[in-house]
Structure 1
Amino acid sequence: MQENVRHPSHHRGPNSLRFSLPALAVSEDPTRSRSSTVVVTNNNFVYSCFCVCVTDQEKVQQAADSNSPKKPFVPCKVCGDNASGYHYGVTSCEGCKGFFRRSIQKQIDYRCLRDGKCMVIRLNRNRCQYCRFKKCLAVGMSRDSVRYGRVPKRSKSLEDHSVSSTDSASSSQDQLALENKQLAIYDVILSISQAHHSHCAITEDKIKNIVRQPATLMSKIHIPPGQVQFSNEELEVQRLLMWQQLASLVTPAINSVVEFSKRVPNFSDLSQDDQLILIKLGFFEIWLTRMARMIDREENMVVFEDGSCISREELAVVYSPDFVTSMFEVCNGFNMLNLNDTEIGLFTAIVLATADRQGLSDTSAVERIQDSLVEALTLQVSRNHSTEENLFAAVLMKLPELRTLGSQHNDLLRWYRLQWHRGNLPPLFAEIYDIPKNQAADSASQS
């Protein structure tokens, strides 16, 4: 049987996925002789439920056994299969119950290859764990129920409460509002996790496939016979050439940061100018956060995403010894926090949504984006590091450290900006740091 199901057409993009809590009820039609799928939409989320297939043989059996009580078909709110009971706050089947429990207990980070929009029904519920877990949260499965035990049966319906009807209605509304807020936070976490895994070359899985290879930023310069050392002019030329080589190694990360930024919830709602300001002024801090895992303090080198190993001494020539020392120290401190990929993704999104970047026109909108990201990171850290009480505060303390490095890096770029006519930088690198393009050098290299 094939299902012809359409996703809702009113999504604005990969970072604007919304979903609501309850699935609409689907009543069983015992007169049908064929299996069928009923698709019910509730706001922006699609739920699929399966009707009971009643054959002629089953009708005869039911007529013969008229004294046996009829057990109504109750669909699982996650996948539409036959529900076995009330699990973790939701009517669900045994399969989805076990899947949700394992996801919470093992703290698994899932990924989706289809932009987080997979249909979750009984026939394909195992294909995309990311979307299945998101569906579990969307219909109201409670993480705390897994942690603290079953939800008491008396809490399943308002009739079982001993409080007055007014208090029950108020309590229900408060609970629904809380669940909606929690679901919005879960949506942010899942969106950022997917964006980070898809648009970052430095994740736990991808690092395993990076093959290290010795590399250098140095370029060969002809030295006249008998000359022992570089002249000041030759030293400047060498430094510029090393910076250009470093720019080539950094450039692939620029596009990935841009694509990641587009998928941060509500970022695309900002004006184009504000988006560019946030990306340009935050790029170095985001890049350094991602590269922290690639800082090798024992070997005194940085490993780039293509495997090139650049020594600390060469970086000190391009920048300065003090600046590179600060880079290594901040990255080492960040690594000691032992954050996973999702948490690093949330942190870099917070760095991106910094409301006091110079030139922003709508700082309030940026603050709202950052507030939602901070809430998401708070939840994620408390969930994964429940025994480390001060970890979240330690994570936030890295923000001013990165900001200081970003400011120092901008100061170091001033000399290079003055030398723009003497070099030939990758266009994307020149754009991210607002460095004029050397048309003459570009034409010479193409010829």
Structure 2
Amino acid sequence: MSCLYDMCLLQIRMSKEMEELSPLGDSGHGDGSEDETEEDDEPKICQVCGDKSTGYHFNAMTCEGCKGFFRRAMKRPVAQICCPFQNTCIITKSNRRQCQSCRLQKCISIGMKRELIMSDEAVEKRRIQIRRKRMHEEPIMLSPQQEAVIQELLTAHQKTFDMSCAQFIQFRPLDRDQKFMPEYSQEPKSGRYSNAVMCKPPTEDAMQWTINSLSSPSSSIQSLENKERTCLKSAIFTSLPHFTDLTTYMIKNVINFSKTLAMFRALIIEDQISLLKGATFEIILIHFNMFFNEVTGIWECGPLQYCLDDAMRAGFQRHLLDPMMNFHYTLRKLHLREEEYVLMQAISLFSPDRPGVTHHNVVDRNQETLALTLKTYIEAKRTEPDKNLLYPKIMACLTEMRSMNEEYTKQMLKIQDIQPEVSPLLLEIISKDS
């Protein structure tokens, strides 16, 4: 997925650079050009063909056409140019292309000098200098269209997502009485979780397991996996009812968010469904990252707080939870602004490679627009010295979510087989049928 973004943005960047460098082609000023008029402001004519002059080029007053002709002619052997007549052609604006030999002789006769032509290396160096100067003098700005895209996303997000989490009190209670699973919420080190910080005091068995795991990490990993398998055979996931209500509520928010966007409503209904089924889990992850405290490892959701063991009590396993915690720490430490969060959500939503999508080109164009808007926003609004690293880091987080999405679907289906608590809406989202 990141390769797709990079390819798209590389093409855009190359086209912009070509636009910046265009003045240095045959009509450029890398040759010591002067003003096209004298002090009396009277326009001058080309001394070769009589066309309107644009200034002094290679020591003579010429037009852009004769300037470019002289440069090109001097880069190939003069012997290859010969007059088909008697070397007496009169060069004018209308016939200057008919005889290269006489045109070149006219250029030399009026004083144009070959030694004033810049080498390819000098031209490239000048191009770099001009590019740097323009980047310094002309700050990158969002276009009106990009501003409108961001405003639409912000409005949709604020209408459909309540940062106060006031509705969370309507869910079934979060039961934390399950005694088996050890609980972690500290920042991972080398992919694992070190000191235990609990949402509630642990049982004696869980505390002993934690002490043992810190002293012998390699054996503790295998021990945990064995315990997870045993737990799955006879577990009652006490947090599952609450998480089912929570997830169903969040899915509805994602659907409402998407339906608010004009570019989403413009898609056929089949593609809308495919995109929602593919991106809902990822957008929910982004939503919850806004609540994540990277110091405590707790999701602070208004009246409720969640930690990793709550997800384990809902039946989720380390194959998902380990990378999920790493993801939340990584993304939260980027300290994204609300505009960057909503653009990230929209980029995830408009992924043309989701199963079931038929109009790939339309979705791909939307995603390219959103990705370029995010990149431009960072360049225009951020002032940090390392801001150029932010965009690729966000793209890496989007890629990481794709692999977690697959694992989440697998685990959710297993949980449903063991304890049928999953809502019909959630089942529809995680179903493999397109």
TM-score (norm 1): 0.48
Larger radius of gyration: 2
TM-score (norm 2): 0.50
- Please identify which structure carries the higher helix content: 2
